[in-house]
Homo-oligomer: A and B are copies of this chain.
């Protein structure tokens, strides 16, 4: 069995990418997953019908858009999007690094038409 030290995740390494968009799991917690997202461009409108999703901004800023509202999150800010609430994320500035916490089997439904604040 590997030591605990061998399983330490360094988020600065996990976010070290030049890709325009990168998203991958960094930890499994029971039936939930923590993912890291690096984004330089908007993601598409979508909903998770059966899972809440909590965002935590690590670097840069993140704009979370909902129908009728837009929220700006800075490093150290968290926001939980309740299941079924459709949303879109985009970077505030050039680059955003954030964590998300959600069910590992969360389904994602894309929206046929964009919403807007």
Contact = CB atoms under 8 A, between A and B. Distances in A.
Given A12-B76, A77-B11, A101 B32 contact: yes
A80 interface: yes
Interface in A15-29: 26-29
A34 interface: yes
Interface residues of A, number: 38
29 contacts: A4-B66, A4-B71, A4-B81, A5-B71, A7-B79, A7-B80, A8-B79, A9-B77, A10-B76, A10-B77, A11-B77, A11-B78, A12-B76, A27-B54, A27-B78, A29-B32, A29-B53, A29-B54, A29-B80, A29-B101, A30-B32, A30-B51, A30-B83, A30-B102, A34-B54, A34-B78, A34-B101, A56-B99, A58-B76
Interface of A: 3-5, 7-12, 26-30, 32, 34, 51-54, 56, 58, 64, 66, 69, 71, 73, 76-81, 83, 99, 101-103
